[in-house]
Amino acid sequence: MYQDNQTAVPMLQQLTFSLAGEEYGVDILAVREIRSWSRVTRIPQTPDYVLGVLNLRGAVVPIMDLRLRFGLQRESYGDDTVMIVVAIGERLFGIVVDAVSDVIDIDPAAIKPVPDMGAVVDTRYLKGLATHVERMVMLLDVEKLMRPEDVETLEAALPAIQEVEVAA
């Protein structure tokens, strides 16, 4: 926080991560856990970017590959590949990213709107752009990552997945 005319302006803390050579940030308040990559249980008839679900201490958490969600080429998962588990309301889901960088403070006044890039780049998943120590960070809007129809498909499939895990 800093002082400006005797009023404290809170900084926004962002967990930064890399994806296809670009740097992204997600609100640290939405992050519940950072995990190394581990195998997931595939769910039939879900979009390619939904890799499956993971049992996380009794909660069944859908996992999506952010590269595939953004229409990028899939990469093999390595030692640096991580899953960031985020919460949207009461719902948890994980995003697979290339590597986690660090936590940074962003001045809300420094956030710039996302420019319209036409059909080349889908910017609907971004809240804005910020510069931090001479690098551009794209601020992710996690609420827009999971489409309502994807949530419905997952919710319909989850009881069957939970029954299989309990029965196995």
How much is the pLDDT for 130?
93
- From the CB of residue 22, how many other CB atoms can be counted at a distance below 10 Å? 13
Please tell me which residue, 7 or 61, carries the higher pLDDT value.
61
Residue 123 has pLDDT above 80, yes or no: no
CA-closest candidate to residue 72, choices 125, 151, 35: 125
Mean pLDDT, range 21-31, rounded to an integer: 94
How much is the pLDDT for 45?
79
Report the range out of 7-11, 107-111, 116-120, 130-134 with the highest average pLDDT. 107-111
Q: How far apart are CA 105 and CA 148, in angstroms?
A: 31
CA-closest candidate to residue 57, choices 77, 78, 33: 33
pTM of the model: 0.81
Alpha helices in the chain (DSSP H): 66-69, 148-167
CA-closest candidate to residue 136, choices 10, 32, 16, 13: 16
Burial class from Cβ neighbours inside 10 Å (0-12, 13-18, 19+) for residue 6 reads exposed
Give 165's pLDDT tier (boundaries 50, 70, 90).
Answer: very low
pLDDT in tens, 137-164: 999 998 887 766 666 666 666 555 554 4
CA-closest candidate to residue 22, choices 72, 61, 62, 64: 72
Q: Taking a C-beta distance cutoff of 8 angstroms, is the pair 67, 58 a contact?
A: no
Please tell me which residue, 75 or 153, carries the higher pLDDT value.
75
CA-closest candidate to residue 45, choices 158, 122, 165, 137: 158
Report phi then psi at 43, rounded to 5: -115, 125
Q: Which residues contact 81 (CB under 8 A, 6 or more apart)?
A: 36, 37, 96, 97, 98, 99
Mean pLDDT, range 122-143, rounded to an integer: 87
Share of the chain above pLDDT 90, in %: 38
Mean pLDDT, range 102-119, rounded to an integer: 84
